[in-house]
Each structure stands twice: as structure tokens, then as C-alpha cells.
Amino acid sequence: MTVDRTKLKRLPVPAFCNNPSCRTIWLAQSPFALPEGGTVFIAACQVGPCPVCKGFGRIPDGKYVRPLKRLFAPAQAIII
């Protein structure tokens, strides 16, 4: 399968700060660039810096999917 690299986007992922006195949760840019509908499995990954303490945070292990651009059907007007 070939992928148009111009359509890849970095997937935002939740991150939980490792610092016990901080524990901030933020949305980080993952290093993984995916096409629409693309899937990545993340395990034992950290990301930083934390926006509060500048430390590292943990990305929860699991399967991450970049949603398709259109989640809902376009609105339609019904003219009678």
C-alpha cells in the first residue's frame, strides 16, 4: 500500500505527567504520523515536556486511531 505523505498528520495523544507532585494531564503531539483511519499501537512510550513542570509524561498503552475527516453526514435541507 502506498501512502500520500502529504496527507499524514501527527496524532494527538493524552499524556499523564510522571512527576508525583504534578500529575498534569495534557494533549501531546505523538511522534506518529498517520493517514485518515490509520492505526498505531503504543506501549511504554513517554512524551515531554509537561506544560507545567517540564518533566516527562506517560502515554497510556493501547490502540490509537486517527478518525476519518468526516464523522457525520453533511447537513441536508429538505425543501417541501
Footprint of Zn ion on this chain (CB under 5 A)?
Answer: 17, 19, 22, 24, 50, 52-53, 55
Cα–Cα distance measured from residue 10 to residue 75, given in angstroms and rounded to the nearest whole number: 28
Instruction: Write down the least CB distance from residue 78 to Zn ion, Å.
Output: 51
CB 18 within 8 A of CB 58: yes
Across the beta sheet with 25-34, what order do the strands follow?
25-34, 9-17, 57-59, 45-47
Instruction: Closer to Zn ion by CB, 33 or 53: give it.
Output: 53
Instruction: Write down the least CB distance from residue 47 to Zn ion, Å.
Output: 11
Instruction: Closer to Zn ion by CB, 45 or 53: give it.
Output: 53
Instruction: Write down the least CB distance from residue 46 to Zn ion, Å.
Output: 12
